[in-house]
């Protein structure tokens, strides 16, 4: 330890230099350990789906809710394609400084790695959970003039009309795909799956009679159900949906195994310091407490949640175990 010597001018010089060095080291360590978005940076939220869809709308509502608590600009960047893998690569290539986030549905960390052989990311290593944002349910919908008024009636109709027993989903290897397959297997009938790119063409072909039924996120069917252009026969939650309380669940109709809850979550790149992750998580949870934001999400059929990073990690782990069994039982594997 330096000891002062009376009249020694070099002592003051050495102390000053040491203090400056310590301050510089502390500043560098602060960038690594306490990385956080700053006023000179843009907070980028990458969405793996096209603009205008439900995921994009929810991401933009969240971004609006976060703006009051952030000094910097927030932009939502759509990077659709390859079942979310393009967006994940954008996240992986970003600096782990808390300024780039991925807003993704359950498919990205859970379903895609289970069904695709060429996935180049490991959710446990490449995606740092920040917070779950919201939950949602799925629905089985038919045209308004379809004779079935319940799941049992639809299954009976499918058995009586095997050549017309089809259902559409927003994509191969999606949760709606597996729910439809589970319905066919549980009901003892062969429902032919037709995969589409997104929910809009599924809705159109159900309405025009090209498909017997469609399975998709409940939020995709809401507007058409409310205007009488589609009829939802069942929802996939553990209890009835708050936005369609008159529609019974699959469980209520004798199909307890057909139960699924989807969700949206936020992720940071691997290597993002935990203090930065915790601050981002707290900001998201705080934004989701806003009454107006919660009401907008619920109108879409989306239930706002907001969790800790640890809680989201636990949700991913549990869902991965459950869906691994379901995917294996169907025998499906995407190329």
Are 185 and 324 found together in one domain?
no
- 134 three-class SS: strand
Are 269 and 315 found together in one domain?
yes
Percent of the chain with pLDDT over 70: 88
Task: Please say which residue of 171, 200, 235 terminates a domain.
Answer: 235
Are 151 and 221 found together in one domain?
yes
Side-chain half-sphere CA neighbours of 226 within 13 A: 12
Q: Copy the structure tokens of residue 233.
A: 């026969």
- Provide the pLDDT confidence category of residue 332 given band limits of 50, 70 and 90: confident
102-157 tens-digit pLDDT: 999 999 999 999 999 889 999 999 999 999 999 999 999 999 999 999 999 999 99
- 15, part of any domain: no
Compute the chain's Rg from CA coordinates.
Answer: 25
Are 142 and 229 found together in one domain?
yes
Domain span holding position 89? 43-135+261-330
Per the structure, the count of domains in the chain is 2
Whole-model pTM? 0.84
Per-residue CA distances from 329 to 110, 186, 191, 258 (Å): 16, 12, 16, 14
54-74 tens-digit pLDDT: 899 999 999 999 998 787 799
Are 178 and 104 found together in one domain?
no
- Provide the pLDDT confidence category of residue 8 given band limits of 50, 70 and 90: low
Distance between CA 144 and CA 226 in Å, rounded?
11
Are 167 and 189 found together in one domain?
yes
- 118, part of any domain: yes
- 246, part of any domain: no
Distance between CA 296 and CA 61 in Å, rounded?
8
Q: Where are the beta strands (DSSP E) in 220-286?
A: 231-235, 261-269
Query: SS3 for 54-83, per residue?
Result: HHHHHHHHHHHHHHHHCCCCEEEEECCCHH
What are phi and psi for residue 188, nearest 5 degrees?
75, 30
Are 187 and 220 found together in one domain?
yes
- The position carrying tokens 């969405």 is 47
Which range, 69-83, 193-207, 320-334, is most confident? 193-207
Q: What is the CATH number of the domain that holds 225?
A: 3.40.190.10
């Amino acid at each position: 330890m330096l000891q002062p010597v009376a009249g020694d001018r070099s002592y003051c010089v050495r102390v000053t230099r040491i203090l400056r060095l310590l301050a510089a080291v502390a500043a560098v360590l602060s960038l690594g350990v306490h990385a956080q978005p700053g006023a000179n940076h843009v907070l980028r939220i990458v969405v793996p789906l096209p603009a205008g869809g439900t995921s994009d709308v929810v991401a933009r509502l969240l971004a609006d809710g976060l703006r009051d608590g952030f000094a910097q600009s927030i932009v939502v960047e759509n990077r659709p394609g390859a079942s979310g893998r393009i967006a994940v690569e954008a996240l992986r290539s970003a600096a782990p400084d808390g300024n780039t986030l991925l807003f993704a549905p359950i498919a990205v960390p859970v379903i895609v790695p289970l069904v695709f052989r060429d996935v180049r990311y490991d959710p446990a290593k490449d995606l740092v959970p920040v917070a779950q944002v919201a939950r949602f349910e799925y629905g089985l919908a038919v045209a308004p003039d379809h004779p079935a008024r319940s799941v049992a009636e639809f299954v009976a109709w499918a058995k009586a009309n095997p050549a017309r027993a089809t259902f559409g989903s927003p994509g191969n290897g999606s949760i709606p795909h597996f729910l439809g397959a589970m319905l066919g297997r549980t009901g003892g009938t062969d429902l032919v799956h037709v995969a589409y790119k997104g929910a809009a063409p599924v809705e159109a072909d159900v309405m025009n009679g090209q498909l017997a039924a469609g399975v998709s996120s409940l939020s995709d069917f809401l507007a058409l159900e409310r205007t009488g252009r589609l009829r939802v026969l069942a929802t996939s939650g553990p209890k009835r949906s708050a936005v369609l309380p008159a529609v019974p669940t699959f469980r209520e109709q004798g199909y307890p195994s057909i139960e699924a809850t989807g969700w949206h979550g936020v992720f940071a790149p691997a290597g993002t310091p935990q203090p930065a992750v915790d601050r981002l998580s707290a900001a998201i949870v705080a934004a989701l407490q806003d009454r107006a934001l919660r009401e907008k999400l619920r109108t879409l059929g989306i239930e706002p949640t907001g969790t800790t990073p640890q809680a989201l990690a636990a949700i991913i782990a549990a869902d991965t175990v459950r869906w691994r069994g379901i995917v294996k039982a169907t025998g499906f594997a995407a190329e």
